[in-house]
Chain A
Amino acid sequence: MRGRSYVAFVFCPAVPILDWLEEIDATLARSPGFFVGKPVVLDLSAVDLSQAAIAHLIENLEQRNIRILGIEGVDAARLTSNMPPLLTGGRACVLAVNEPKKVESKPKTTSLLLDGQVRSGQSVVFPDGDVTVVGSVASGAEIVAGGSIHVYGTLRGRAMAGVNGNSAARIYCQKIEAELLAIDGYFKTAEEIDAISCDRPAQVWLEGDIVQITPLN
């Protein structure tokens, strides 16, 4: 003779049984297959059920794909021969529940750093947020950003900020010699910028539907 012990789930139905079954349903809805392949024992000590009621409960659980290994906490006379056997001597133990681990999703990057010059012919498109350029943006280059654009050199190319309809986006640069400045679709071309011609740090922002250029500090 050899013995082996298994850890089993113990169901403790409570009245009203219908509400209790709904709870089981809710668990199954969250994680279908939660009880698949796991031994389940029915503890009926908290309720007083007739033989017919016990049979009905077992049937209900089987409909949910939960098979009962054994029953405890009930008088043997209430069980029929085609019901799971009566169990005694169960000991309580702690179950390590393997909750499915939450996938730790990195927060989406909301800025793009370009460490150097952006050369003529290069096009940088970053619809997810701000673009920072540590260097100059050459004539013939373009930066397209969903958020603001920061240029720590001279902006000689095209800069388009807030392309996804973000009218609060701005363009900052050390020096403006831009070919085109745009925020949320409103733009100024080089000709219009020249009239203002800033030879010092400046910011570009949207006031209503007018692109404004004002010096910083």
Chain B
Amino acid sequence: MAKVLVVTSGKGGVGKTTSTAALGATLAQMGEKVVVVDFDVGLRNLDLILGAERRVVFDFINVVQGIANLSQALIRDKRVENLWLLPASQTRDKDALTEEGVAKVIGELRTKFDWILCDSPAGIERGAMLAMRYADEAVIVTNPEISSVRDSDRIIGMLDSKTVRAEQGERVEKHLLITRFDTARAARGEMLSIEDILDILATPLLGIIPESQDVLRASNVGSPVTLNDATSAPARAYIDAARRLTGETVAMMVPSARKGLMDRLLGRRAA
């Protein structure tokens, strides 16, 4: 059965789009049929991260308004054959999205895909509300700092009240993804610890993605971080997270700042 998963955070710049692309690509590589939907109408980015920006002809809004049909707007990834993108419109704004239109498109995608990943815009307004509206599951992306955690808490409250599932008395299954986790700064107490974040948000942990230059390098070449270098630390963390999404039990690796003797002698920072 198709699962609609919203990747959301409240705060901007925490890694929603990066996470959507990485999780989507990994699920597709695992053999699932995946579509990633960009809800950030007017400020789209998912096409860039997936390297599909030069192939956009029709977009989400065109489909909602009936100008194009879904198969015309879907863009198939060139590297992973099970991965598709439904791009947002860059020339419109969030008001172009209607609840009925989104419901229709999501309903149609449910018949075609195993996973529908909705990349939510930042904020708690119309775009973010519609991105989570029809979700079965949610990945809440949080950075280890207090403003991001508080915004995530707000979003969790909305997932529990404003989604179709919540209104029907069902639950939206929630997963917490901590991104941009800097082991060295955490060790110095400059960031919130994993324990503090879990204590505040009281939501099951899906994964911890370490802060890394690999993420920026991958987005520069228009590739999900998991496809660009599957052996990099963030890629491995995303792959583990995607496996947990499918129900697999994968041991949680908390990036540790403890340095080995050799590291200390060489003065290297642990990744």
Interface residues of A (CB under 8 A from B): 117, 119-122, 135-136, 138-141, 154, 156
CB of A117 within 8 A of CB of B150, answer no
Question: CB-CB < 8 A to A136: which residues of B?
Answer: 199-200, 202
Question: CB-CB < 8 A to A138: which residues of B?
Answer: 150, 153, 200
CB of A120 within 8 A of CB of B202, answer no
Q: Is B53 an interface residue (CB 8 A)?
A: no
10 A-B pairs closest in CB distance:
A119-B157, A120-B153, A120-B154, A121-B154, A138-B153, A119-B153, A122-B157, A120-B150, A117-B202, A139-B150
Q: Is B160 an interface residue (CB 8 A)?
A: yes
CB of B153 within 8 A of CB of A135, answer no
CB of B160 within 8 A of CB of A119, answer yes
What is the minimal beta-carbon distance from B198 to any residue of chain A, in angstroms?
12
Knowing A119-B156, A119-B160, A120-B157, say if A135 contacts B202 (CB, 8 Å). yes
CA distance A154 to B157 in the complex (A): 17
Interface size on B, residues (CB 8 A): 13
Contact code string B185-207 (vs A, CB < 8 Å = 1, else 0): 00000000000000110100000
Interface residues of B in 154-213 (CB under 8 A from A): 154, 156-158, 160, 199-200, 202
Q: Is B151 an interface residue (CB 8 A)?
A: yes
CA distance A140 to B153 in the complex (A): 9
CB of B200 within 8 A of CB of A119, answer no
Of all chain B residues, which has the CB nearest A122?
Answer: B157
CA distance A29 to B200 in the complex (A): 63
What is the minimal beta-carbon distance from A61 to any residue of chain B, in angstroms?
61
CA distance A140 to B11 in the complex (A): 15
What is the minimal beta-carbon distance from A176 to any residue of chain B, in angstroms?
15
CA distance A138 to B157 in the complex (A): 10
Pull 14 A–B residue pairs with CB atoms less than 8 Å apart, ordered by A: A117-B153, A117-B156, A117-B202, A119-B154, A120-B150, A120-B151, A120-B157, A121-B124, A121-B153, A121-B157, A136-B199, A139-B150, A141-B153, A156-B200
What is the minimal beta-carbon distance from A88 to any residue of chain B, in angstroms?
70
CA distance A139 to B145 in the complex (A): 13
Of all chain B residues, which has the CB nearest A139?
Answer: B150
Question: CB-CB < 8 A to B154: which residues of A?
Answer: 119-121, 140
Question: CB-CB < 8 A to B156: which residues of A?
Answer: 117, 119
CA distance A119 to B154 in the complex (A): 6
Question: CB-CB < 8 A to B146: which residues of A?
Answer: 139
- Give the residue among B146, B158, B160, B200 with the most A Cβ atoms within 10 A: B200
CB of A140 within 8 A of CB of B200, answer no
Interface residues of B in 45-103 (CB under 8 A from A): none
What is the minimal beta-carbon distance from B144 to any residue of chain A, in angstroms?
15
Of all chain A residues, which has the CB nearest B146?
Answer: A139
Of all chain B residues, which has the CB nearest A138?
Answer: B153
What is the minimal beta-carbon distance from B159 to any residue of chain A, in angstroms?
9
Question: CB-CB < 8 A to A120: which residues of B?
Answer: 150-151, 153-154, 157
Of all chain A residues, which has the CB nearest B200?
Answer: A138
CA distance A136 to B156 in the complex (A): 14
What is the minimal beta-carbon distance from B168 to any residue of chain A, in angstroms?
18
What is the minimal beta-carbon distance from A199 to any residue of chain B, in angstroms?
13
Of all chain A residues, which has the CB nearest B153?
Answer: A120
What is the minimal beta-carbon distance from A120 to any residue of chain B, in angstroms?
4
CB of B199 within 8 A of CB of A139, answer no
CA distance A27 to B200 in the complex (A): 65
A119-B160, A138-B153, A138-B200 given; 5 more Cβ-contact pairs under 8 Å = A121-B124, A121-B157, A135-B202, A141-B153, A154-B199
Of all chain A residues, which has the CB nearest B10?
Answer: A120
Question: CB-CB < 8 A to B158: which residues of A?
Answer: 121
Question: CB-CB < 8 A to A154: which residues of B?
Answer: 199
Question: CB-CB < 8 A to A139: which residues of B?
Answer: 146, 150, 153, 200
Interface residues of B in 188-241 (CB under 8 A from A): 199-200, 202
What is the minimal beta-carbon distance from A45 to any residue of chain B, in angstroms?
70
